[in-house]
Amino acid sequence: MKTIIIDDEQDSRETLRSYLTRYCPAVVLVDECPDIQSAQKSIQKHQPQLIFLDIEMPFGNAFDLLERIDNINFEIIFVTAFSQYAVQAFNLSAAHYLLKPVDIEELENAVAKVGERISEKTKTNHTQVLLENMKVLKNQNQKLVLPLLDGLEVVRMSDILYCEAEDNFTNFYFKDGKKAMICRGLKHYEGLLEEFGFCRVHRSSIVNLEYVKRYMKGKGGSVIMENGKEIMVSNNRKGELIQRIGKG
């Protein structure tokens, strides 16, 4: 993989170069850049398959660089000490990122996943999804990249009614009546969605509070969704649910 490192800190570039040489033989380093101006020229010249991109640099950040590029046809591994909300945006977009100081095992895993995307020629533009998510951070206009059994699908959170666990999979139910089985467990999505108006109401269910029409009393009770679906609420989740509905 033809690769460029973009980072304003020389020590960081040297460390990453050393790690890539030692632990990532699939990477062929063709250039290193200390700022977005030289990086833009280098990308045009070398046409890399992968770039390691530091978020914060003098005279512009990573997103300033990406907005200058018309066709982002390369993979990106972000290197960052960015805030938790921004990391959330990376996760939602299925974009790769490494936190400083870089962990060798995480580096190897990120490079391996990027290699798989390149070899499979996956068409989903994770970077474009990420850029859109950064603009609407903490908003249900955020997009979520879902790994399907036969590929990937990008959906808006505002289109999700609720999610239900099925063994090691998660079923997503949408406003338009569609359903998608996702190759990850419900616990994974609890952490991603809770900041965006979703609430886990049962060990097997997460609901979008925007579409909760009614709460029915009981030991735990249940919620009625806008599509008429009744979803049970566990007793230990009831308090949080009622509190959050009240705040809404």
Last residue of a domain, one of 134, 154, 181: 134
> In CATH, what number is assigned to the domain containing residue 67?
3.40.50.2300
Last residue of a domain, one of 107, 134, 161: 134
Last residue of a domain, one of 84, 117, 134: 134
Cα–Cα distance, 127 to 114 (Å, whole number): 13
Residue tagged 């989740």 (tokens): 237
- Do both 125 and 198 map to the same domain? no
pLDDT surpasses 80 at 84: no
Percent of the chain at pLDDT exceeding 90: 49
Q: State how far Cα 33 lies from the chain centre.
A: 26
Strand 143-148 relative to strand 151-156, pairing: antiparallel
- The CA distances from residue 180 to 114, 145, 229, in Å, are 25, 12, 17
- Do both 171 and 88 map to the same domain? no
Identify the pLDDT of residue 150. 75
* Number of other CB atoms surrounding residue 22 within 10 Å: 9
What radius of gyration do the chain's Cα atoms show?
21
**What is the amino acid identity at position 5?**
I
- Do both 76 and 151 map to the same domain? no
- The CA distances from residue 117 to 23, 73, 76, 114, 122, in Å, are 19, 12, 11, 5, 5
- Do both 113 and 179 map to the same domain? no
Identify the pLDDT of residue 201. 96
Cα–Cα distance, 19 to 43 (Å, whole number): 22
- Do both 21 and 124 map to the same domain? yes
In three-state secondary structure terms, 181 is strand
> In CATH, what number is assigned to the domain containing residue 187?
2.40.50.1020
Strand 212-216 relative to strand 222-225, pairing: antiparallel
- Do both 86 and 101 map to the same domain? yes
Across 31-35, 57-61, 178-182, least confident range: 57-61
Cα–Cα distance, 188 to 211 (Å, whole number): 21
- Do both 171 and 50 map to the same domain? no
Cα–Cα distance, 208 to 153 (Å, whole number): 19
- Of 145, 137, 143, 166, give the one whose Cα is nearest residue 63: 137
Helix segments in 96-141, DSSP class H: 104-120, 126-135
- Do both 51 and 158 map to the same domain? no
- Do both 87 and 156 map to the same domain? no
Taking the whole predicted model, whether its pTM rises above 0.85 is answered as no
Q: Which domain holds residue 155?
A: 141-247
pLDDT surpasses 50 at 121: yes
pLDDT surpasses 90 at 166: yes
- Do both 127 and 151 map to the same domain? no
In three-state secondary structure terms, 145 is strand
Query: How many structural domains is the chain composed of?
Result: 2
- Do both 147 and 120 map to the same domain? no
Percent of the chain at pLDDT exceeding 70: 84
- Do both 119 and 156 map to the same domain? no
Indicate the average pLDDT of the chain.
85
